[in-house]
Amino acid sequence: MRPICFLIGTVLIASSLTAAAWKEYPQRELGFLVEFPGDPAASTGRYHTGLVQSATAHIFSFKDDKALYVATAVDLLDRKEEGATLLGEAESNLTMLGDVSSISISRVTPGANAVLGQFITIDCRGGRVGQRGAADTARTWFKDITVAECPDRSRLVSNVFFTRGRLYLIQGMNLPSGEDALSPAAMRFANSLSFLGAGARRGGPPQ
């Protein structure tokens, strides 16, 4: 029995270490919080689309051998009344990256302060028939806001919101790595978003 007990103990220890590696990383000035499995790198990029000539994108990313985790907040503070349109454009760009497996309504924060968005799962691939130009534009857009490619055979899960004058894209990507291609880590990351209210309180009223 000892070898079995040792094996169970080893698995439990490994599981606890994996869980302990995830930490909350609040971005108070940008009004949100996400969990990463390691310390993210911070950078800025340019958000450019048909509707947005130029806006600043704040990018926080972490990559390991199996997945990429990217949280992007785009400053659109002078266009707060256009949230539905700008969110729709971002969703359209995401769908150009490959084959859409699912789209569903996403919700962050319960009660009166709830924020609704879209949760999109995409199997990335290039060269979509009849949409090559739009797909190429979307890939350039994606690289600008993530500092990364969306390689063929990778699976992208995106949690997308527009609130308080900012567009938020919380994206986990399972890289094409055989049996680990459907690891739940990317899904966990995309679902780790919380918005911070006044006093940097999780789920509080807007600042």
Convert the pLDDT of each residue in 127-178 to its tens digit: 665 566 888 999 999 999 999 999 999 999 999 999 999 999 999 999 987 5
Rounded to a whole number, what is the largest CA-CA distance in the chain? Answer: 66
Is the separation of the CB atoms in 118 and 87 below 8 Å? yes
Provide the 8-state DSSP code for 130: T
Q: How far apart are CA 64 and CA 67, in angstroms?
A: 6
Give CA–CA dist 193/172, Å, rounded.
12
What is the residue-wise DSSP string for 53-101? Answer: S-EEEEEEEEE-SSEEEEEEEEE-GGGGGGHHHHHHHHHHHHHTTEEEE
Q: Find out whether 75 and 120 touch, Cβ atoms under 8 Å.
A: no
**Rounded distance between C-alpha atoms, residue 61 and residue 93, angstroms:** 20
pLDDT of residue 186: 94
Instruction: Tell me what the pLDDT averaged over the chain comes to.
Output: 86
Provide CATH code, domain 23-200. Answer: 3.40.1000
**DSSP label at residue 176:** S
| Position 180 pLDDT exceeds 60 | no
Phi, psi of 44, deg, nearest 5: -125, 150
Confidence at 47, pLDDT banded by 50, 70, 90: very high
* Beta-bridge partner residues of 191: none
Model confidence at 7, pLDDT cuts 50, 70, 90, reads very low
Distance of CA 165 to the CA centre of its chain: 18
Q: What's the Rg (C-alpha) of the chain?
A: 18
| Phi, psi values for residue 27, rounded to 5° | -115, 85
Confidence of residue 10 (pLDDT cuts 50, 70, 90): very low
The H or E element containing residue 180 is none
CA within 13 Å, CB half, 193: 34
Break the chain into its structural domains and give their ranges: 23-200
Q: What are phi and psi of 30, to 5 degrees?
A: -100, -5
Q: What is the pLDDT of residue 109?
A: 84
